[in-house]
Structure 1
Amino acid sequence: MKFLSICKISFIKLMIISISLFLMSLYMLINELVYFLEWEVVTLNSMNIVMTFLFDWMSLLFMSFVLFIASLVIFYSMEYMSGDKTINRFILLVLMFVLSMMLLIISPNLISILLGWDGLGLVSYCLVIYFQNIKSYNAGMLTALSNRIGDVALLMAIAWMLNYGSWNYVFYLEVMKMDFDMMLVGGLVMLAAMTKSAQIPFSSWLPAAMAAPTPVSALVHSSTLVTAGVYLLIRFNILLMDTILGNILLLISGLTMFMAGLGANYEFDLKKIIALSTLSQLGLMMSILSMGFYKLAFFHLLTHALFKALLFMCAGAIIHNMNNFQDIRYMGGLSSFMPLTSSIFNVANLALCGMPFLAGFYSKDMILEIVSLSYINMFSFFLYFFSTGLTVSYSFRLVYYTMTDDLNCSSLNMLNDESWIMLKGMFGLLVMSIIGGSLLNWLMFSSLYMICLPVYLKMLTLFTCIFGGLMGYMISNVSIYFVNKSLLNYFMSYFLGSMWFMPYISTYGIMNYPLNYGFNVIKSFDYGWSEYFGGQELNNNMLNLSKLNSFIQNNSLKIYFMTFVLWIMLLLNLLIFL
């Protein structure tokens, strides 16, 4: 009962704050207001420590969405995590996670951004290893170490900004593109964002983080951890427009989108398929951001948060009912056993594909039409549209495996749609996944875009989606080796299905060999010759000198001297006598 009350209180408070922030963001958006607050924390003589906060329509709207999703995730956890004995700790970790994200969103200062950034990294590690087993520990370590690269890049950016006299980067946004130093800071920030948003070559931690409980995955993959990098680059967007940094990011994010789409078509773990779809959508956000359309990237960030959280919640309900099976090959016929959950799952899937008039359609369609209108090379154009086709392909493949045919699990099953608390949590996001796209479109883009394209380019997005869906369903339904020839080649399917060998490079390549080499170096040098001729030798010499000194200190030299003189005199007397 105590746990239920904590969950309910958290849910109600977060929902109230979310609605308040949403109304405030509307007020600021309509009146074009920005509030820059400085809070003097400590003043000591001439030194003062000041915390700065930036409140504009973008930060308030994003915070509203994060809190809305977090409140529904906590409500959902009341049933999903009900069997857990340490549930209070779980809720507190989730609240700490959300608090870190809040700090990151409202910070115009690189120091306070680092506090939120590291808070996200630390709490995400605690949540990934929440189910304490070897797989979770390995996944947590991979997540933490991959994100540390970005943390170091952010620290270096902070050190480099000492040249400017302030860490409030918003003061220098106008001069950024003209100054080489600021471009260097921008490059380091871009590296940090790439690690947090899991772009190539840092992608392997994202599917590994699926070891966390499903409510955490719903929060992480929609609006918190992975979107932190995108949000940071939205704030630094001036650096990416018509610069070498933007071109590099366009290539990397396009390849990430392509790689994740291919990998999801070969994956059989339900949660990992949805994780790879997150990676694909992050690539889409990053790529349109690198072309200078930061508002569009933010628009897709918000719409994606809604249906991706809903997808994870539905996946959690399915896994919960399937007795913790995650392999989609065991599933089938779920539309008969769990009609309500299946309907919500399909709505979220169609929103991800860009089905007209659902949330994902408004952002994805506008992004692809802007790409068709822009001056980009053929390779990037191909990556955009082919990756969109792959998104629809793996979504329809997922629907085929989970919803159609017969259940491939045990003959005695307890599948039902009576998880009312989980369903209530999902309904809130279901409504937003249907109306959220058009709502945000009306709010963010007050004047309509007129995108005038030839008919074949205008229809290309629709054709890509239809063709991708047909291919995904056909590859699953028809004799699989007949259609998908790559499966006949073991190495090709292994390469495409394992994210281009990135997990192996990230673990064995980056961690195993350098760590072993470092161990040998430290054993030979620091613990070997360097120790023998350095600290150890000095220690031995000092020890011997102190022993001699204490021997002298603890004995009477007068007695020794008189004894010595007496012995000499005795010997002389003997010699004279003889």
Structure 2
Amino acid sequence: MMKKNKILEVSVLFMLFSSLLGLISSFYLIFSGMSLFIEYELISLNSSLYVLTFYVDWMSCMFLFIVSTISCVVIFYSKSYMSGEVYINRFIILILLFVTSMILLIFSLNLISILLGWDGLGLVSYCLVIFYQNVKSFNSGMLTVLSNRIGDVMLLMSISWMINVGSWNFLMYMYTMNLESYMIMILIMVVSAAMTKSAQIPFSAWLPAAMAAPTPVSSLVHSSTLVTAGVYLLIRFSEMLQMSMMKEVLLLMSSLTMLMAGLSANFEFDLKKIIALSTLSQLGLMMSILCLGFSNMAFFHLSTHAMFKALLFMCAGLVIHNLNNNQDIRFMGQLGYYMPLVSINFNISNLALCGVPFMAGFYSKDLILEMVLFSNMNMIVFFFFFFSTGLTVSYTVRLLYFSMMKELGLNKIFSLMDKDLIMIKSMMVLLFMSIFSGSMLNWMIMPFFYMIYLKMFFKFMVFNFIGGGILIGLLISFLNFISKYVFINKIFFYFGNMWFISNISIYGLNMYVLNLSFNLDKILDLGFLEELGGLNLYSKFMLVSKMNYYLYLNSIKLFIFFFFLFYLFMLLF
């Protein structure tokens, strides 16, 4: 036990040191206006340089601070959450490998070293999703890793394609060769890779499935590591993205993802899946604003979102623990009476998610929505952004209604308690960040003050949609009580299944292959080939062997019979 605790404590201290280093470096680089570019040449082959490239600027250091802070808190949280786990040692090492892969990706400007971090995230996430070894976990893990392999293949193809320019340091060629045909091909591959990692349509099905992992893993994955890797990569490629037609395609896909995830979360009853779909919706928002040309805002929202989303998952984990591993929100209720500290954290993280004024999410979300109003965008984009914001408030209100307002759905209430100090302490760190990180980052990372001059009607449009979202959330909550009607059930089924995206993108593809293999097995292996091949030969040989056997048993009688037939034949002819 001492050895296990020692590894955990060393990991927490290492992540804390990394977090402080990232914060101090980020402050220094912002105020000095500097960035470091480090190259180390490994080998030169066929006029192509194999160079390790690291780019240390304020953005990478700030992201290092965010990833390390959340990792430190999550590992400390795991001390209590995973206390009954026999292989907690293995769990902590996997978490450290996961974070190391993300840090490698953060500081890399070379596509080869990016691939190492990118692939490391995919493979370690598979090991973490299947940590609880059962059939559901294995299915979810396989779905996760195979979806991410599409992105890995795209990055491998872009690496091979970049041999045309002689180096894999894409920053050098982003400005000078952005209109060349092979750079456009590389951008298409990188955007496709980012869409798989950040689970945009049509690759969205793996994100809710990855909820089979332990809750500390979900907290880390859905806040600052795996799913944000695609957004971070496109922030690095944002200059090239703005000069190509791919931004329109990505804008459409990410806007649809935002809408689909918001609608699905309103009809979902699994607590962790609701929060996962909320992550999917926010990823769509980050991708969308990135496509409109505001890469700093995308990073700003990514940073603030990471803090309150990690807190939201940690609160969910403690609630699930106390409800005897029950994740259905219909069995929750009145949690504020029995778990006040957890409820405070849960409510504040939800309010930050909705963009309630002066929480962390307000500074990034309000700025994004006002810039959309200020930009020259059509009504479709306007509808996607604002309606999805209303849906965010809607599923948050529905979640708060089921968990806090309605009567407790379980008979036994004595299992609910609020005395796990390790989990509470770790959540309080993120509670502070969920309130203050928005204003802190707003002062730090915005290069100039945005003066967005709008009419009063447009200025208050965000609040109008928030109010509409509250009403929709309450309406959908009451729809649950009349779900015995067939029509309501069909609506729940359609929206709760993410517009059947999993059926189309996964089952819709592999079922054709599986049915084809079944029919081939039935027609060929068990059909014609069996009749014409093994079974047919076997039956013929058996017939000949039976005839020989019959001859041997009746030799004299058959000899006379055949002699008589031969004699008769000779007389006739």
In the superposition, the TM-score normalised over structure 1's length comes to 0.87
Contact 1:310/1:426, CA 8 A, preserved across alignment: yes
Q: Could you tell me which amino acid in structure 1 is paired with residue 186 of structure 2?
A: V
Q: Which consecutive segments of 4 or more residues in structure 1 shift more than 2 A?
A: 39-50, 410-413, 477-481, 484-493, 514-526
Q: Could you tell me which amino acid in structure 1 is paired with residue 343 of structure 2?
A: S
The alpha-carbon deviation at position 478 of structure 1 amounts to 7.3
Taking the TM superposition and a 5 Å limit, the aligned residue runs for 1:83-94 are 83-94=84-95
Q: 1:48–1:504: structure 2 CA closer, same or farther, 3 Å change rule? A: closer
Q: 1:417–1:64: structure 2 CA closer, same or farther, 3 Å change rule? A: same
What whole-Å deviation, never above 9, does each CA across 1:220-268 have from its counterpart, x for those lacking one? Answer: 0000000000000000001222531111111110000000000000000
**Match in the other structure for 2:561:** none
Instruction: State the alpha-carbon separation in 2 of the partners of residues 45 and 501 from structure 1.
Output: 48
**Match in the other structure for 1:560:** none
Q: CA RMSD in A?
A: 2.4
Instruction: State the alpha-carbon separation in 2 of the partners of residues 455 and 43 from structure 1.
Output: 61
**Match in the other structure for 1:509:** 508
Instruction: State the alpha-carbon separation in 1 of the partners of residues 179 and 46 from structure 2.
Output: 37
Instruction: State the alpha-carbon separation in 1 of the partners of residues 416 and 422 from structure 2.
Output: 16
Instruction: State the alpha-carbon separation in 2 of the partners of residues 502 and 121 from structure 1.
Output: 21
**Match in the other structure for 2:132:** 131
Counterpart of 1:154 in 2: which secondary structure? helix
- Provide structure 2 residue ranges, at least 5 long, that are not aligned to the other structure: 529-573
Contact 1:81/1:87, CA 8 A, preserved across alignment: yes
Moved more, 175-184 or 241-250: 175-184
**Match in the other structure for 2:540:** none
**Match in the other structure for 2:443:** 442
**2:294 aligned with 1:325, yes or no?**
no
The alpha-carbon deviation at position 410 of structure 1 amounts to 3.1
Counterpart of 2:227 in 1: which secondary structure? helix
Instruction: State the alpha-carbon separation in 2 of the partners of residues 467 and 105 from structure 1.
Output: 38
Contact 1:210/1:271, CA 8 A, preserved across alignment: yes
What whole-Å deviation, never above 9, does each CA across 1:301-320 have from its counterpart, x for those lacking one? Answer: 00000000000000001001
Contact 1:239/1:245, CA 8 A, preserved across alignment: no
Moved more, 112-121 or 463-472: 463-472
**Match in the other structure for 2:339:** 338
Instruction: State the alpha-carbon separation in 2 of the partners of residues 388 and 373 from structure 1.
Output: 17
Instruction: State the alpha-carbon separation in 2 of the partners of residues 489 and 410 from structure 1.
Output: 28
Q: Could you tell me which amino acid in structure 2 is paired with residue 386 of structure 1?
A: F
What whole-Å deviation, never above 9, does each CA across 1:184-238 have from its counterpart, x for those lacking one? Answer: 1101100000000000000000000000000000000000000000000000001
Contact 2:266/2:476, CA 8 A, preserved across alignment: no
What whole-Å deviation, never above 9, does each CA across 1:375-416 have from its counterpart, x for those lacking one? Answer: 111111101000000000000100000011321113253111
**Match in the other structure for 1:495:** 494
**Match in the other structure for 1:545:** none
What whole-Å deviation, never above 9, does each CA across 1:98-135 have from its counterpart, x for those lacking one? Answer: 00001111110111111110000000000000000000
Q: 1:134–1:26: structure 2 CA closer, same or farther, 3 Å change rule? A: same
The alpha-carbon deviation at position 512 of structure 1 amounts to 2.9
In the superposition, the TM-score normalised over structure 2's length comes to 0.88
Instruction: State the alpha-carbon separation in 2 of the partners of residues 434 and 236 from structure 1.
Output: 31
Instruction: State the alpha-carbon separation in 1 of the partners of residues 67 and 412 from structure 2.
Output: 41
The alpha-carbon deviation at position 332 of structure 1 amounts to 0.5
What whole-Å deviation, never above 9, does each CA across 1:319-360 have from its counterpart, x for those lacking one? Answer: 011110000000001000000100110000000000100000
The alpha-carbon deviation at position 479 of structure 1 amounts to 7.7
Contact 1:110/1:168, CA 8 A, preserved across alignment: yes
Contact 1:176/1:239, CA 8 A, preserved across alignment: no
How many matched pairs? 527
Q: Could you tell me which amino acid in structure 2 is paired with residue 330 of structure 1?
A: F
Contact 2:338/2:418, CA 8 A, preserved across alignment: yes
Contact 1:487/1:493, CA 8 A, preserved across alignment: no
Contact 1:239/1:246, CA 8 A, preserved across alignment: no
The alpha-carbon deviation at position 172 of structure 1 amounts to 0.7
Q: 1:329–1:227: structure 2 CA closer, same or farther, 3 Å change rule? A: same
Instruction: State the alpha-carbon separation in 2 of the partners of residues 513 and 448 from structure 1.
Output: 54
**Match in the other structure for 2:114:** 113
Taking the TM superposition and a 5 Å limit, the aligned residue runs for 1:395-544 are 395-477=396-478, 480-481=481-482, 488-517=487-516
**Match in the other structure for 2:544:** none
Instruction: State the alpha-carbon separation in 2 of the partners of residues 35 and 253 from structure 1.
Output: 32
What whole-Å deviation, never above 9, does each CA across 1:24-46 have from its counterpart, x for those lacking one? Answer: 11111111111111224468999
Counterpart of 2:178 in 1: which secondary structure? helix
Percent of matched pairs sharing the same residue: 57
The alpha-carbon deviation at position 445 of structure 1 amounts to 1.3
**Match in the other structure for 2:564:** none
Counterpart of 1:225 in 2: which secondary structure? coil
Instruction: State the alpha-carbon separation in 2 of the partners of residues 312 and 32 from structure 1.
Output: 36
The alpha-carbon deviation at position 49 of structure 1 amounts to 4.3
Contact 1:486/1:493, CA 8 A, preserved across alignment: no
The alpha-carbon deviation at position 275 of structure 1 amounts to 0.1
Contact 1:303/1:433, CA 8 A, preserved across alignment: yes
Instruction: State the alpha-carbon separation in 1 of the partners of residues 80 and 503 from structure 2.
Output: 36
**2:259 aligned with 1:258, yes or no?**
yes
Instruction: State the alpha-carbon separation in 1 of the partners of residues 487 and 455 from structure 2.
Output: 40
What whole-Å deviation, never above 9, does each CA across 1:160-205 have from its counterpart, x for those lacking one? Answer: 1111101110111103432222111101100000000000000000
What whole-Å deviation, never above 9, does each CA across 1:545-570 have from its counterpart, x for those lacking one? Answer: xxxxxxxxxxxxxxxxxxxxxxxxxx
**Match in the other structure for 2:12:** 11
Contact 1:100/1:120, CA 8 A, preserved across alignment: yes
